[in-house]
């Protein structure tokens, strides 16, 4: 990531989405999630299986179908909403990846639902 820092500044990128021959994995310090229709999809392998990711999956399963599976870069054109999660970022919506506008370019209702569920959980804790 450090050697790509100049490129990130040039592109005015907030973060970097890792991918390999295994498909999309995660960001440097957060997990990646995407809605394809009403289904929440997140990479299953080659990711950090941390507490925040686990909680998001548990909360999401109460409202949406959830799939943990490989995701290809080609799928970025088909996702309706996206977000990343981590302990410090909480649930952070993504509206654009490179030149690909996610959904309509605004934070989607399903992502807002996940944000609300997470906030309610942490406030109750």
Q: Tell me whether residue 30 is exposed, middle or buried, using C-beta atoms within 10 angstroms of its C-beta: 0 to 12, 13 to 18, 19 or more.
A: buried
Q: Supply the range of the domain harboring residue 89.
A: 2-124
**What element of type H or E holds 42?**
strand 39-42
Please tell me the pTM assigned to this model. Answer: 0.89
Q: How is residue 89 written in tokens? A: 């970022």
Asked whether 37 and 58 are in contact (CB, 8 A), the reply is no
CATH number at residue 24: 3.20.10.10
How many separate domains does the chain show?
Answer: 1
Each residue's pLDDT, cut to its tens digit, for the chain (125 residues) gives 556 666 556 656 667 777 888 888 887 788 999 999 999 999 999 898 999 999 999 999 999 999 999 999 899 999 999 999 998 889 999 998 888 899 999 999 999 999 999 999 999 98
């Amino acid at each position: 990531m450090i050697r790509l820092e100049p490129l990130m500044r040039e592109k005015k990128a907030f973060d970097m989405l890792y991918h390999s021959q295994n498909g999309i994995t995660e960001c440097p310090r957060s997990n990646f999630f995407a809605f394809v229709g009403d289904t929440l999809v997140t990479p299953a392998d080659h990711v950090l299986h941390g507490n925040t990711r686990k909680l998001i999956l548990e909360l999401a399963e109460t409202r949406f179908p959830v799939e943990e599976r490989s995701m290809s870069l080609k799928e970025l054109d088909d996702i309706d909403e996206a977000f990343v999660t981590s302990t410090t970022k909480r649930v952070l919506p993504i509206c654009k990846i490179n030149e690909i506008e996610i959904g309509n370019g605004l934070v989607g209702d399903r992502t807002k639902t996940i944000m609300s569920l997470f906030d309610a959980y942490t406030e109750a804790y």
